[in-house]
Structure 1
Amino acid sequence: MFAVLAVARKVSGAWIALLSLLALAACGMTLPSGGPSVNTSRPIPVALLVPGGSDNAADATLATSLENAARLAMAELDGVVIDLRVYNTAADATTASAMATKAVSDGAKIILGPVYAGNANAAGLAVANRGINVLAFSNNTDIAGGNVFVLGHTFQSTANRLVGYAANQDKGNILIVHANSPAENAGRSSIERAIASTPATLAGIASFELSQTGIINALPEISAQVRDTGAQSIFLTSGTDGAIPFLAGLLPENGVKPTETQYIGLQRFDIPATAMSLPGLQGGWFALPDQDLNAQFLARYEARYGTQPHPIAGLAYDGIAAIGALASTGQSDALTTTALTQPQGFAGVNGVFRLRGDGTNERGLAVATIEEGQVVILEPAPRSFAGAGF
């Protein structure tokens, strides 16, 4: 029996019961040959590449938080021992390449990290001919592929979840509204791909220059497109730290009322908390990770380390949990690419996730809305890849 998340030894009975519900199994699973060979009866050598050693204090804090989360995961594995070796990259691509090479020379069978896309790409290239996989903490899918997998939450997972939900709610005729920026152009493309793979339809695409003037100038065209196409929903790629506050305030004044046209956000509407008071976001849809599991992770992390983790620290926990689950099979080829991409996926601190053959990932997300300034879950995150949203 192959359980994708090993049950914790040193946590409460309630957490153990929850993990039992989360476990995804593949009975009689046979892992492929090729790739790194591991002796699962001995500690598994794992390299953790973190951005420590740079001149940026935030990098040092992030490095500590990632290492703490990884060690928390190690303490909660059952029957698998990880030999974690930590390497500082100084948030520099050249150093990341050198540290990845050193880690493999030191015996690492898999690499967790680095964080930044350029560093992760450099690390992956450095060890590609050594048959070693890299589970990066980036969410930049441009670097994914070959021996590099991104663990970060991607636009594509969010777009897939929300487009599918919109289609199921008979609000699947979607107008995409995005700023002309590299990130939001990537978000637009993710939504287009999601629409193409569901019963939803693309009503059109409206763009604007990323400035207050650019937004104001684009509003008449956006309003006209909603009216002329009969769009049931507008899918906004901007975040609350960008254009969303302007759009949420000005779109209703220009005839695109949230009571008539469904607002959908590629980025979360609840961060920061003050965004939830924006009238235009009331009733808007967005996606977020499994909040129950995340809350339990935060509580266990704080109990162990006396502080809250960095927002992406859970990715380090997920990486160790996945490695531990694969190693628990006892097979020497447990860390090959095919093993990492097995379709049952893994259960992590933010919910279920699985790695895809193209180096990207798919995560189980909840659909939420804002009601009277509070987050309300419309459809919970699935607890398996046979659940809602898949």
Structure 2
Amino acid sequence: MFDNFKRFFAIAGLSTLLAACQIIPHGDTGPATTPVPETKPSESTLPQDESRHRVALLVPLSGNNAGVGQSIANATTMALLDTNAGNLRITTYDTAKGAKSAADRAITDGNRLILGPLLADNVPAVLAAAAPADIPLISFSNDASVASSDVFVMGHIPEQSVTRTVDYAMSQGSKRFAVLTPRGEYGRRAAKALEEAVAARGGQMVATQSYDRGNSLIISAAKKLTAQGGFDTVLIADGARLSAIGASALKEAGDTLPHILGTELWSGEASIANAEALRGAWFSAVPDARYRRFVDSYESRFGQQPYRIATLGYDSVLLTLRVAREWQPGQAFPTSRLMARDGFIGLDGVFRFGRDGVGERAMEVRQIGNGTVSVVAPAPERFTN
């Protein structure tokens, strides 16, 4: 059954991934001939498919986020071809030209499921069109605040990365925490997640400092944090470059060296391994092993590297195929199947949705070494509760 999958991936382990998704491909067992998702729908309402489920992909294909949207669209194409998914028809709609109009057109065209949108700001407009038609959204956003019984948030949620890292840090002896965050929504979310995770596990929040992003500004904030003192562990909620600068300032100013924690922003940043000030630091992210294989395959097909978020496009197709086993063509999408407690597995590891629509990810903990990044606590391979 999985000969077609192995033909593309030719990589150890991916047939296991697809088997774990319980995908049952439809159509013949010869070379995959599924057409790529249409970049625009037909001028009039598309005909109903008797044997294929109509699914809309809503992503930006123009404007500032066009590259990200196209990368996600390319990944959905790969997933269709790799699984020989003859039971799905995916049509892509450009949200950059208006999220509401894209959703209206998708619904008029007969789609019964929406993959997207990418941006949390677009969710209300898309939902306004989709909810009356009983069409759920599987959004690529990482903003849990837009999740609901009709909106399933599939993105990698930063708060979950922070919580996973705090769990590990406390198992290694961390007790008193401080946080260094950039001003803005991401910084606020990271700080709140740290405070909640520490309180829930019996630790202590000692100090907080925020800063406007910049080399000198993070150094100043780090020195103020050190002056407050009393902590043994500091979360720096920024990218690799500024985190390394902040960590260096913390270690230069203090009498004792605090343990440094990072967020999922460090994942995929090659420079992190050579940042001396971050040696020994911990951060959490979704497993990367399958992503590296995905990148190789993506490059061979499209001649460029994908955006990291492109895996969500691929995994959304795997997810749809899993649920499609109990989805009759022309009928409403069986939304309740998205909340299976055993979850789903994709390129980014296992995940599942809660009844609140928020996607829960299994994450691994990594440690920065001397030119290396190693996994010190693997991601769970399944959910046990």
The answer to whether TM tops 0.5 is yes
Distance in 2 between the 1:195 and 1:337 partners? 34
State whether residues 54 and 111 of structure 2, in contact with CA within 8 Å, keep that contact through their aligned partners in structure 1.
yes
Q: Secondary structure at the match of 1:86?
A: strand
Corresponding position of 2:380: 382
Number of residue pairs aligned between Structure 1 and Structure 2: 356
Q: Secondary structure at the match of 2:350?
A: strand
Question: What is the CA deviation profile of residues 182-233 of structure 1, one whole-angstrom value per residue up to 9, with x for unaligned ones?
Answer: 2201111122233344x2413323113325554344334422444x3xx332
Alignment pair present for 1:274 and 2:271: yes
Q: Which moved more, 1:327-336 or 1:79-88?
A: 327-336
Corresponding position of 1:235: 235
Distance in 2 between the 1:180 and 1:86 partners? 35
Distance in 1 between the 2:195 and 2:292 partners? 32
State whether residues 162 and 193 of structure 2, in contact with CA within 8 Å, keep that contact through their aligned partners in structure 1.
yes
Report the AA paired with residue 121 of structure 2: G
Q: Secondary structure at the match of 1:207?
A: strand
State whether residues 176 and 234 of structure 1, in contact with CA within 8 Å, keep that contact through their aligned partners in structure 2.
yes
Corresponding position of 1:33: none
Report the AA paired with residue 261 of structure 2: I
TM-score relative to the length of structure 2: 0.82
Corresponding position of 2:281: 284
Alignment pair present for 1:178 and 2:198: no
Alignment pair present for 1:144 and 2:153: no
Corresponding position of 1:84: 90
State whether residues 21 and 322 of structure 2, in contact with CA within 8 Å, keep that contact through their aligned partners in structure 1.
no
State whether residues 69 and 118 of structure 2, in contact with CA within 8 Å, keep that contact through their aligned partners in structure 1.
no
State whether residues 117 and 140 of structure 2, in contact with CA within 8 Å, keep that contact through their aligned partners in structure 1.
yes
State whether residues 341 and 357 of structure 1, in contact with CA within 8 Å, keep that contact through their aligned partners in structure 2.
yes
Provide structure 2 residue ranges, at least 5 long, that are not aligned to the other structure.
Answer: 24-47
Corresponding position of 1:36: none
Distance in 2 between the 1:76 and 1:334 partners? 26
Change beyond 3 A, Cα 1:17–1:270:
closer
Distance in 2 between the 1:330 and 1:357 partners? 20
State whether residues 55 and 91 of structure 2, in contact with CA within 8 Å, keep that contact through their aligned partners in structure 1.
yes
Distance in 1 between the 2:282 and 2:183 partners? 22
State whether residues 237 and 263 of structure 2, in contact with CA within 8 Å, keep that contact through their aligned partners in structure 1.
yes
Corresponding position of 1:201: 203
Alignment pair present for 1:223 and 2:218: no
Alignment pair present for 1:348 and 2:350: no
State whether residues 4 and 84 of structure 2, in contact with CA within 8 Å, keep that contact through their aligned partners in structure 1.
yes
Runs of 4+ more than 6 Å apart: 331-334
Corresponding position of 1:9: 4
Highest RCO, 1 vs 2 (Cα 8 Å, sep ≥ 6):
1
Deviation of 1:70 after TM superposition, in Å, equals 0.5
Distance in 1 between the 2:71 and 2:322 partners? 22
Change beyond 3 A, Cα 1:248–1:103:
same
Q: Secondary structure at the match of 1:84?
A: strand
Deviation of 1:41 after TM superposition, in Å, equals 8.0
Q: Secondary structure at the match of 1:76?
A: helix
| Mapping of residues 239-258 of structure 1, within 5 Å | 239-240=239-240, 243-255=242-254, 257=256
2:77 equivalent among 68, 71, 75: 71
| Mapping of residues 74-153 of structure 1, within 5 Å | 74-77=80-83, 81-89=87-95, 91-92=96-97, 95-153=98-156
State whether residues 165 and 365 of structure 2, in contact with CA within 8 Å, keep that contact through their aligned partners in structure 1.
yes
Distance in 1 between the 2:142 and 2:218 partners? 27
1:163 equivalent among 161, 166, 172: 166
Deviation of 1:103 after TM superposition, in Å, equals 0.9
Distance in 2 between the 1:97 and 1:263 partners? 43
Distance in 2 between the 1:84 and 1:8 partners? 23
Deviation of 1:346 after TM superposition, in Å, equals 1.1
State whether residues 326 and 334 of structure 1, in contact with CA within 8 Å, keep that contact through their aligned partners in structure 2.
no
State whether residues 62 and 313 of structure 1, in contact with CA within 8 Å, keep that contact through their aligned partners in structure 2.
yes
Alignment pair present for 1:363 and 2:361: yes
